[in-house]
A = this chain, B = another copy of it.
Amino acid sequence: MLSLSRFAARGLALRSSRALHAASQPLNSVTEQDLAHFAKILPPSSILSTLPPSSVASEELHLYNSDWMGKYRGTSTTVLKPKTTEQVSEIVKWCNERRIGIVPQGGNTGLVGGSVPVGDEVILSLANMSKVRSFDSVSGILVADAGCILQSLTDYIAPHNHIMPIDLGAKGSCQIGGNVATNAGGLRLLRYGSLHGTVLGLEVVLPDGTILDQLTTLRKDNTGYDLKQLFIGAEGTLGIITGVSILTPPAPQASNNVILALPSFKNVLPLYEIVKRQLSEILSAFEYIDRTSYDLAVKHGQGRALSEEDVEGAECFVLVETSGGKREHDEEKLNNLLEFLLEADEPLINTGVLSQNPAQFSSLWALREGVTEAVSKEGKPYKYDISVPLSSFQDVVDGTREHLKSKGLYGDHAVKYVVGYGHVGDGNLHLNVVANSYTPEIQAALEPYVYEVVASHRGSISAEHGVGAMKTHALKYSKSDVSIAWMKKIKQIFDPRGIMNPGKVLPE
């Protein structure tokens, strides 16, 4: 206990003299004394450190120090894996006193470097906090530790005929706490809305170690400011989410899908209006793929959903999915829709193919989801995850291609393809620029060009991937100076010493 008091006292002294400028001071590294303190909070099996007495090889920390794409790399010496909220609180309290940076880490599946240290911060892994706290099968309200893996939660509630309101490609390893911290979007957003609506409560350890318990299971609660909302999408910079209460919808009894070939992009929006009206509450996805994306997906192994003849003259494609309570009803609605579309005087679509069985259902989705893989196989992709008005999707793609042409960067020697695909229903376009190799010229031609185009549409430079370490400099293209200034004030009151996920979200 001696060392504890000594450090605490030093921490306090530090704080009083540096309080005003704390955030601009460099953070402290973890020392052996810190490790000795962590050993009072956690068992040895929950501490992984290159420092004595743990003294593991630095390779053992590689998975924690890097993101899965190998794009971001930190130099943390220490990974802590608490099992309880109280342990998280004690660790955070200590790090705050000592001014040691902390990176909260969930499944580490992000795309923008948000869960990897920028320096030698402590990595606080939530992996050991993986218990379901409660599930009410009547209300569908689930309360779980932040470290629960999304797929595990899906499996947990499936026997009770409920599904999670979010679904992601990374569901096998991403954690619910990370989903909430990054306000993950995913495939079900069109149907079930954003986490700002479905998350009912949070338990958060604040940067001073205080536990903010707002883990209620109420659908309605109008008693003061809804503080938990601040932590949804804050990417762990305001505190560490340790528990989540979330509303899960009843599982649909049936899912169907259909792929439609369109002669022109300008038909997409009128088509979306008709589909929304006719399918109404059973519409669960409306995904857009331009012709180049389709061709690349087919080229790189996805089956042809449509015949050569069907594809002839198609400028783009739309994948429509329905999820509903009764298969026959849903099929009837889909068939009626197809008839209506094909028998129109001036049809918006050339043709459409309705999946007839689960295998076909999956293969239509594989076509849409295969675009990402195809693009990576074809070359080096520059990927932009943006929100722009639906009506501008094609303009943004074509404009980017023209811009690259004007710079002499379009063709076999540089950029081979500019493709667009994504979630029309959410206004979320994946703009991919496929180059032979990553070069400074292409990079300079694309940025800030793409961000400026997004800003001119009052769009978002990050629809669902977040800001992380990657886009802090570009925040200004989507948020006003006033907004950014207020974000900094919020950060300052929650984390005056700047220890919580430093270098993420906000620009310097």
Contact = CB atoms under 8 A, between A and B. Distances in A.
Contact of A387 (B218, B277, B280): B218
Interface in A469-508: 471, 475, 478-480, 482-484, 486-487, 489-491, 493, 505-506
A217 interface: yes
Given A212-B482, A387-B218, A483-B212, A280 B250 contact: yes
A218 B161 CA distance: 32
Contacts of A458: 216-217
A465 B279 contact: no
A116 interface: no
Given A269-B138, A276-B250, A220 B428 contact: yes
A462 B333 CA distance: 41
A441 interface: no
A226 interface: yes
A463 B220 contact: yes
Interface stretch (A1-9, A144-152, A231-239, A344-352): A231-239
Contacts of A478: 221, 223
A323 B282 CA distance: 12
Interface stretch (A70-78, A193-201, A401-409): A193-201
Interface stretch (A12-20, A96-104, A181-189, A432-440): A181-189
Contacts of A169: none
7 closest Cβ pairs, A-B complex? A197-B197, A280-B325, A229-B229, A221-B460, A220-B463, A223-B478, A193-B197
A220 B475 contact: no
A117 to B, nearest CB: 20
B486 A325 contact: no
22 contacts: A138-B269, A138-B273, A139-B389, A185-B222, A194-B220, A212-B483, A214-B480, A219-B426, A220-B387, A220-B426, A221-B460, A221-B478, A222-B233, A222-B463, A222-B466, A224-B483, A224-B506, A227-B483, A229-B229, A280-B325, A282-B325, A326-B332
Contacts of A252: 280-281
A323 B185 CA distance: 26
B282 A460 contact: no
Interface in A166-216: 182-183, 185, 189, 193-194, 196-198, 210-214, 216
A427 B230 contact: no
Give the contact-size bracket for chain A: 35 or more
Interface of A: 136-140, 161, 182-183, 185, 189, 193-194, 196-198, 210-214, 216-227, 229-230, 232-234, 238, 250, 252-253, 269, 272-273, 276-282, 323-326, 329, 332-333, 387, 389-391, 423, 425-428, 458-467, 471, 475, 478-480, 482-484, 486-487, 489-491, 493, 505-506
B213 A482 contact: yes
Given A212-B483, A269-B138, A273-B137, A223 B475 contact: yes
A64 to B, nearest CB: 23
A58 to B, nearest CB: 32
Contacts of A282: 281, 325
Contacts of A423: 220
